[in-house]
Amino acid sequence: MQLETREALLRKICVEWGFCLGPDDAQRIVDMPKIDAEAFATAVLAAERMTEHGDWKRQLMQAFEAA
């Protein structure tokens, strides 16, 4: 996934779902050299310090795959 697409996806999940990461966390995700849907979802949830994420991981993975 292109870096610009990752940035756009992070903006989208902030606006639509309230996952508004701090600039350092967002940059860390954008800069990850290899990222797949599961790694993206895990990184977002970790940045939000969510240990019980219910269905959010699946939804974040689907958003990544659709981007």
Average pLDDT, the chain: 93
| Block residue for tokens 């797949």 | 36
Q: Phi first, then psi: what are they for 45, rounded to 5°?
A: -65, -40
Q: What is the pLDDT of residue 62?
A: 96
Predicted TM-score (pTM) above 0.85: yes
Residue 60 Cα distances to 21, 38, 49, 52, angstroms:
14, 8, 15, 14
Q: Looking at residues 48-62, what average pLDDT do you find?
A: 90
Buried b (16+ CB within 10 A) or exposed e, 3-32: eeebeebbeebeeeeebebeeebbeebbee
